[in-house]
Amino acid sequence: MYRVSFFNTKPYDKVFFNKLKDKYDIVIDYHRSKLTEHNVKLAEGSDAVVAFVNDTINDKVIDALVKFNIKVIAMRCAGFNNVDLEYAKGKVVVLRVPAYSPYSVAEHNMGLLLSLNRKLNRAYNRTREFNFSLNGLTGFDLHGKTIGIIGTGKIGRTFIDICKGFKMNIIAYDLYPIPDSDIKYVDFNQLCEESDIISLHCPLTPDTYHLIDENAINRMKDGVFILNTSRGGLIDSEALLKGLINQKIGAAGLDVYEDETDIFYEDYSNEIMKDEILARLISMPNVFVTSHQAFLTEEALVKIAEVTLENLYDFFHGNERKNEVQS
């Protein structure tokens, strides 16, 4: 039996991992706290660490894991921008879940768009107070509108399929376009200039950090909608806030936020929100923020648990590490 330290644990994690852990001969020590250099000592005595998108896996954490003779980090997510891969090289193996359910994220993304456009969140709050006025709730037909998809991986392509059902005009930008596809690729500037709605579906890398900045926003149509269910750092939050205040941006649907690490997944309802940008964004009637929950479906959680544990099983038994992250 191999012992695994599981960080950033939520109740739903335990449900799905507990169903499978015996099958893979793994004992899991669940820790509620995020993995950081301050609590990495909790992993001592383990054979592996399971981490998530908001854990901090820097040089100090990696050095501590090496000291504890831990040779593998299994990310239970697709993203790994929070891991110092260069420093990890030759010290610990980093594994990930490259795909779990593109439908979960793409469907949530469309939910954000529909809610923003048709003001469903505002209508819900009104009718609970028996206010049945329609003033201020006017939306627009998605049919015929141009949506710009940034990133055409599995999630991006799944969202494209959903948009096709609404008979939208679809254009896309990707650093690595899919050859011989029926996707209409354009350059980034053209996408910004022509899109009524822009939806982000790309990883966070040095090339995509603050891809949506003040210059990009200035190129966009007045009243553009922006959706982000990928990584918060793709958008310059200050530029987004400025664009919303001056009404260049018509609405924003965000499941991620660039400074979310110490905020998302936690309950701050009895505290003052110290992040002034996030507080202002959430206060706006044309901004819909969810707490990095786009992945949260039963199907996705089952797949995440299965692939994470399979990754560890393959590592421990010397099998091919097909989901290893290369620096």
Closest to 162 (Cα-Cα) out of 181, 189, 132, 142: 142
The band of 326, judged by pLDDT with boundaries at 50, 70 and 90, is confident
Q: Please write the tens of the pLDDT for every residue from 107-153.
A: 999 999 999 999 999 999 999 999 999 999 999 999 999 999 999 99
What is the fold, at CATH topology level, of the domain defined by 102-289?
Answer: Rossmann fold (3.40.50)
Is pLDDT at 79 greater than 90 in this prediction? no
Residue pLDDT, tens place only, 145-170: 999 999 999 999 999 999 999 999 99
Quote the CA–CA distance of 94 and 113 in Å, as a whole number.
Answer: 34
Percent of the chain as helix, strand, coil, to the nearest 5: 35, 15, 45
CA dist., res. 118 & res. 99, Å (int): 31
| pLDDT band at residue 327 using 50, 70 and 90 as cut-offs | low
Q: What are the tens digits of pLDDT across the range 81-102? A: 899 999 999 999 999 999 899 9
Q: Give dist(CA 227, CA 148) in Å, integer.
A: 10
Percent of the chain, pLDDT > 90? Answer: 95
Average pLDDT, the chain: 96
**Domain ranges in the chain with CATH number 3.40.50.720:** 2-100+297-316, 102-289
Marked catalytic residue, from 76, 231, 258, 310: 231
Quick: pLDDT tens for 248-282. 999 999 999 999 988 999 999 999 999 999 999 99
**Four-point Cα dihedral 223, 229, 233, 239, nearest 10:** 10
Q: Which residues, in sequence order, are bridge partners of residue 73?
A: 49, 94
The residues with which 287 forms a beta bridge, in sequence order, are 252
- Nearest-angstrom CA–CA distance, 116 and 124: 12
Model confidence at 1, in pLDDT bands (50, 70, 90)?
Answer: confident
From residue 249, how far is each of 40, 286, 287 by CA, in Å? Answer: 42, 9, 10
231 is catalytic: yes
Task: Single out the catalytic residue among 76, 258, 292, 310.
Answer: 292
Active site includes 126?
Answer: no
- Give the active site residue among 96, 201, 260, 306: 260
Check if 260 is active-site. Answer: yes
Token pair for residue 40? 């990495």
Global confidence as pTM: 0.91
Q: Which has the higher per-residue pLDDT, 282 or 79?
A: 282
**Is the predicted pLDDT of residue 48 greater than 90, yes or no?**
yes
Q: Domain spanning 2-100+297-316: which CATH class is it, in words? A: alpha beta
